[in-house]
Amino acid sequence: MPSEIQITECPRDAMQGLAHFVPTAVKATYINLLLQVGFDTIDFGSFVSPKAIPQMRDTADVLKQLDLSSTPSKLLAIIANYRGAEDASKYEAISYMGFPFSISETFQRRNTNASINEAFETVKKINELCQRHNKHLLTYLSMGFGNPYGDEWNVELVLHWAEKLINDGIKYISLADTIGIANPQQISDLYALLSDQFPGTMFGIHLHSTPNTWFEKIDAAFKSGCKRFDTALKGYGGCPMAKDDLTGNIATENVIAYLQQQGVDTGLNLDKLQEAMDYSGKVFTHS
């Protein structure tokens, strides 16, 4: 992309909660269309237990069907433990592994069956594995703006864990509003604080939102200096724990329109984007 802005398209996040299984060929066709759009990164699948996320049990088979010959996009796979990271490390095509590191003790245990401290030790081991296999570890600071469990949350806690991760060599961190509760002031203040204190780290943002609040959140992030955004076409997917059923991923097409209004040349192939949007009905509508 000629722009400094990096968009990560997240079909994995969009698909993983669907009740019906999306056939492997349909997944691959959809992701191949997304690869032609020119996104910086495609969050395409995950190497986790099929019992935990049955929708992603065919990630390795999907990967075999992807055409990476003429795309600028890099591939990201989610992992939740060291074993998953070992599986992902076998594939040269995968550039990033993404680990959900929560600053909510309850959510960390529910999500990865580990305490925060145990997850931190796992992150360190996975980062060493990534370095050996020429990959990057992206760590999500999930529940980054609060949590629904009554666990402690404050800015100091976010900074504490960000600093620990960075001191152990993590260079990519995504600040994740897992349940869609962040307000624009929070986003602006926290993003600016992190990027100022840790200028050598690439901070992205993974926001969830209702359809009528996405603009103010993206605007706050962009104007506080964010250059890396996670989105999903049509806003598919999101977090099932959010109180509002309308809360989900922020729609890629909305963020692209916003960036264009700000004078940003995204460098994306908008015709291929439309093709992917048209095809998405076959993915997200149970036939």
Report how far residue 112's alpha carbon sits from residue 53's, in angstroms, rounded to the nearest whole number. Answer: 12
Q: What percent of the chain has pLDDT over 70?
A: 95
- Catalytic: 130? no
* Both structure tokens of 227: 């250059």
257 occurs within a structural domain: yes
Domain count, the chain: 1
3-class secondary-structure state, position 272: helix
Q: Two tokens at 67?
A: 């055409």
pLDDT digits (tens, 9 = 90+) for 188-209: 999 999 999 999 999 999 999 9
Q: Is 184 a residue whose pLDDT tops 50?
A: yes
- 248, 237 in Cβ contact below 8 A? yes
Sequential DSSP letters for 107-166: HHHHHHSS-HHHHHHHHHHHHHHHHHTT-EEEEEEETBTB-SS-----HHHHHHHHHHHH
255 confidence band (pLDDT: 50, 70, 90): very high
Question: Is residue 188 in some structural domain?
Answer: yes
Of 46, 53, 64, the residue nearest 21 (C-alpha)? 53
Residue 136: inside a domain: yes
Give alpha helix (H) positions in the chain: 11-15, 24-37, 59-64, 82-89, 105-112, 116-132, 155-167, 184-197, 214-223, 252-261, 270-284
pTM of the entire predicted model: 0.95
pLDDT at 15: 95
| Range of the structural domain that residue 108 is part of | 6-284
Which residue has 């993983």 as its token pair? 16
- The angle that helices 116-132 and 82-89 make with each other, rounded to 10 degrees, is 20
Specify burial of residue 119 (Cβ count, 10 A radius: 0-12, 13-18, 19+). Answer: buried
**How many residues are given for the chain?**
287
- DSSP label of 235: G
- Beta carbons of 233 and 253 less than 8 angstroms apart: yes
259 within a domain of the structure (yes/no):
yes
Is residue 1 a part of any domain in this protein?
A: no
- Answer for the pair 91, 130: CB distance below 8 angstroms, yes or no: no
Q: Is 218 contained in some domain?
A: yes
CATH of the domain at 187: 3.20.20.70
24 pLDDT more than 80: yes
Cα separations (Å) of 91 from 33, 77, 78, 86?
21, 10, 13, 10
Q: Would residue 40 count as lying in a domain?
A: yes
| Res 285: pLDDT | 79
